[in-house]
Amino acid sequence: MVRYVLIFLLLFSVSLNAQSISGQAFYESKTTVDLDEMGAGRREMTEEMKKMVSQMMKSALEKTYILTFTKDESIYKEEEKLDATPINPGFRMMMNSFTPGSQYKNLKTGQIVEENEFFGKQFLVTDSIKSLDWQMTKDTKQIGQYTVFKAIAMKKVDPTDFSMARPKRDRKGKDEKENAEVKKDSTNFDDPMDMIEIPEEIEVIAWFTPQIPVSNGPGEFGGLPGLIMELNVYRTTLLCSKVVINPKSAEKIEAPKKGKKVTREEYIKIVQEKTEELRENFQNRGGRRGGGF
């Protein structure tokens, strides 16, 4: 009961400014990767390999995003910056292929539009904003000057969202004899897609503040009575490091226009078909990657 009174008071204190509010929120992303788990059931990674992979993963996954918002609209983009970390071009292309580009949300129409690059081809994906069944908790804390409240929801995972991939649990149960044979035979290539699985559903934890009365947040997330300041999704945490309210100058909010227009369902089908093609090429060529579209 107390938490609802607090939320009501905070909402009431800022409701007069809600209609004209605009701003920018800066989010820092952190993703944890268990390299020992990644190597389960396969050839063991040396410490040098782990260090190299860790550096590449850090460069690919630790980013800054900017959410430019009004009460009804927003645009969410990765902040452009120079990165001197050496990364294998193939690894960079793979990571970029599974990371959405600019994302536009219109809370009035319930529409989301995002730019996606999949193996060198640009797509403009349109979809409806998915509502989550948020459950409020009693937990509160401070993020900077803002009081935030904790909410939890379960989210169905897009079957093509490889950022959610994890090693298949049953690979840990392979017997020692089979593992020894794999290590001994250097020509034996595991199909990468056989090594991973994508969960059907994950828990999402959001910390939001009614002090900024917009029902928005990073990426596709929102639907709470206040801006999401921290978001925990599987292995990734997005933490708001700075908020600028009613900035003098900010990026114009408009839907992206670059790429072939497809629905979410059409895009999922394209990714699934291309992934299956890559698997076949990998198997036929002994582990070498296939061509483009």
How would residue 271 be classed by pLDDT, with cut points 50, 70 and 90? confident
What is the number of other CB atoms lying within 10 angstroms of the CB of residue 35? 14
Distance CA 204, CA 69 (A): 22
CA–CA distances in Å: residue 92 to residues 32, 195, 227: 18, 20, 31
Chain mean pLDDT for the chain: 77
CA–CA distances in Å: residue 234 to residues 43, 143, 204, 268, 279: 26, 21, 7, 21, 26
Looking at residue 3, its pLDDT comes to 54
Ordered by start, the domain boundaries in the chain are 2-284
Note every long-range contact of 179-186, with CB atoms under 8 Å and residues 24 or more positions apart, other chains counting.
179/41, 182/42, 182/43, 183/43
In this prediction, residues 228-238 reach a mean pLDDT of 93
Secondary structure of residue 62 in the 3-state scheme: coil
State phi, psi for 212 to the nearest 5 degrees: -120, 95
**Residues forming beta bridges with residue 105, ordered by sequence position:** 74, 112
Looking at residue 120, its pLDDT comes to 82
288: pLDDT strictly greater than 70: no
Q: Which amino acid is at 240?
A: C
Give first-to-last CA distance, the chain, whole Å: 56
Distance CA 85, CA 151 (A): 36
Query: Do 127 and 112 touch, CB atoms closer than 8 A?
Result: yes
**Considering only CA atoms, which of 238, 196, 195, 267 is closest in space to residue 31?**
238
The whole-model pTM stands at 0.75
Q: Write out pLDDT tens, residues 101-133.
A: 899 999 999 999 999 988 889 999 999 999 999
Q: Write out pLDDT tens, residues 73-89.
A: 999 999 876 555 555 55
Question: What's the token pair of residue 6?
Answer: 């607090």
